[in-house]
Amino acid sequence: MTTSKHYIALGIEYSGTKFHGSQYQPQQRTVQSVLVDAVSAVAADRIEIEFAGRTDSGVHATSQIASFETNANRDSTAWLRGTNANLPNDIRLHSVQKVEENFDPRRTARWRRYMYILGMSRIVPAIGGEFAFWTPFDLDAELMNASAQCLLGEQDFSSFRAAQCQSISPSRCVHWVSVHQFSDLIVLDIVANAFLLRMVRNIMSSLIAVSRGDISDVSVLLKARDRVLCPPTAPPNGLYLVQIAYSQYPELSKLHPPRLLGPTSALPIFDAKDFPDVRPKLKP
């Protein structure tokens, strides 16, 4: 008897606070290890999961994408409800879709979107304090937004690349970047073909330095291509992976804004094909 393979993609939301990142690490609680256990229970077989991208310890995701292949024949509702029933409270599936055999969550993605949430308060809130980076300073979102526009286009982002980054090239293409204020929250919203290790967090720390007058403009750091000149990396708890776009899968490609922002009608909605398909060089 021939058993057919099924190819499944998952849309995942998780709080990164108690995870040691997304990728499997021995003796550590990671998104991958928890998710594999939950999906395998539904499949009644051990499965392997591939992610669209890595997130560091403490970084959140409202729309991480992962995929797996299986011999188990389940409908999307069974995968969704069954997996969520086996997951802890800080991780949930929000979508399940059957995909083609050649679907690769990392390599077939056209672009990724991150948001970094910065709260301005002299007292870190008791509720939600772990879901933003809180600073006691009053910052200028308009100045930060103006300074960030130099990041657009395909450029060398060495100044914002962590020393541990293993990417083949420091070149990335930023399609969209904005900084807006929502009440006492400042949000960095950035879309690129891919991101270097801690790139968004280093951009945010540099924009904070611009607003505080510590540096004149982000363009100075960008042109220097020297990480040593940049401010220390912003903490992970303000960072969210919010969208990954695929040409053939609009349901997987939807924007899922962080709930901390409340009503988000001011946020732009992008289709997968709104930006050119500029694929970065990725390691196998």
CA–CA distance, 16 with 8 (Å, rounded to integer): 23
CA–CA distance, 101 with 7 (Å, rounded to integer): 6
Q: How many CB atoms lie within 10 A of CB 82?
A: 18
CA–CA distance, 185 with 188 (Å, rounded to integer): 10
- Dihedrals phi, psi of 18, to nearest 5 degrees: -105, 15
Whether 226 sits among the annotated catalytic residues: the reply is no
Angle CA(209)–CA(213)–CA(217) in degrees, nearest 5?
A: 70
Nearest C-alpha neighbor of 46 from the set 78, 68, 65, 27: 68
Considering the candidates 37, 45, 56, 214, report the single residue annotated as catalytic: 56
Sign of CA dihedral 33, 39, 41, 46: negative
Which amino acid is located at 42 in the chain? V
**Active-site annotation, residues:** 56
